[in-house]
Amino acid sequence: MKKIRATAAAFALMLCSLLALGQSPVHADTYARISGSGSTWSQNALDQWRRNVTQYGMTVDYTGNGSTIGRQQFADHTVDFALSEIPYGMTEFGVREPPPTRGYAYMPIVAGGTAFMYNLKIGGRRVTNLRLNGDTVTKIFTGKITNWADKQIAADNPGLSLPSRKIIPVVRSDGAGSTAQFTLWMSKQHGALWNDYCRRLGKPVPCGLTSYYPVVPGSGFIAQNGSLGVSGYTRQNYAEGAITYVEYSYALTTGFPVAKVENAAGYYTEPTASNVAVALTKAQINQNKDSSQYLTQILDGVYTYQDSRVYPLSSYSYMILPTTLEAPMTAAKGKTLGAFGYYFLCQGQAQADPLGYSPLPINLVQAGFDQLRKIPGAVAQSINIAGCHNPTFSTSGVNTLVKNAPFPRACDKAGTQQCPSGTGGAQHISTPVKPSASTSGGGSTGGTTTGGSGTNVGTSGGSSGTTAGSTGGTAGTTTAGGTSGTAGTTTAGGVDPDTGLATGDSTGSSGGAQDIAASSVSVGADSFWGLRTWLMGISALLLLAVVVAPPALARRLARPGSTTGRRDERA
Nearer to another protein, 233 or 245 (CB): 233
Cα 409 from Cα 309, distance rounded (Å): 10
Phi then psi dihedrals of residue 315, to 5 deg: -160, 165
Of 150, 189, 180, nearest in space to 245 by CA = 180
DSSP-assigned states of every residue in 548-571 = HHHHHHHHHHT-TT-HHHHHHHH-
Nearer to another protein, 120 or 283 (CB): 120
**SS3 (DSSP) at 247:** strand
Q: Which residues bind another protein (CB under 8 A)?
A: 66, 68-72, 92-98, 163-166, 168, 173-175, 202-204, 211-212, 215, 217-218, 220-225, 229, 232-233, 236-242, 520-521, 523, 525-526, 533, 536, 565, 568-571
Q: How far is the CB of 125 from another protein (least distance, A)?
A: 15
Q: How far is the CB of 569 from another protein (least distance, A)?
A: 4
Q: How far is the CB of 568 from another protein (least distance, A)?
A: 5
The answer to whether 240 and 121 are in contact (CB under 8 A) is yes
H helix or E strand, kind and range, residue 305: none
Phi then psi dihedrals of residue 255, to 5 deg: 75, 30
Q: How far is the CB of 268 from another protein (least distance, A)?
A: 26
Nearer to another protein, 217 or 397 (CB): 217
Nearer to another protein, 104 or 212 (CB): 212
3-state helix, strand, coil in the chain (%, to 5): 45, 15, 40
Nearer to another protein, 173 or 499 (CB): 173
Q: How far is the CB of 94 from another protein (least distance, A)?
A: 7
Nearer to another protein, 396 or 564 (CB): 564
H helix or E strand, kind and range, residue 348: none
Q: How far is the CB of 98 from another protein (least distance, A)?
A: 7
Which pairs count as long-range contacts for 440-445, CB under 8 Å and 24+ apart, including other chains? 440/485, 440/486, 440/489, 440/500, 440/503, 440/504, 440/507, 441/485, 441/507, 442/485, 443/482, 443/483, 443/484, 443/485
Q: In the β-sheet with 168-172, what is the strand arrangement from edge to edge?
A: 60-64, 34-38, 81-84, 314-322, 104-119, 242-247, 168-172, 222-224
Of 90, 81, 302, 66, nearest in space to 174 by CA = 66
Q: How far is the CB of 223 from another protein (least distance, A)?
A: 4
Cα 265 from Cα 470, distance rounded (Å): 11
Q: How far is the CB of 545 from another protein (least distance, A)?
A: 20
Nearer to another protein, 225 or 366 (CB): 225
At 76, the amino acid letter reads D
Q: How far is the CB of 496 from another protein (least distance, A)?
A: 32
Q: How far is the CB of 206 from another protein (least distance, A)?
A: 16
Q: What is the dihedral of CA 221, 226, 228, 233, to 10 degrees?
A: -20
At 399, the amino acid letter reads N
Q: How many CB atoms are located within 10 Å of the residue 127 CB?
A: 23
Query: What residues contact residue 100 under an 8 Å CB cut-off, 6+ apart?
Result: 71, 74, 75, 88
At 178, the amino acid letter reads S
Nearer to another protein, 386 or 521 (CB): 521
Nearer to another protein, 144 or 373 (CB): 144
Nearer to another protein, 241 or 446 (CB): 241
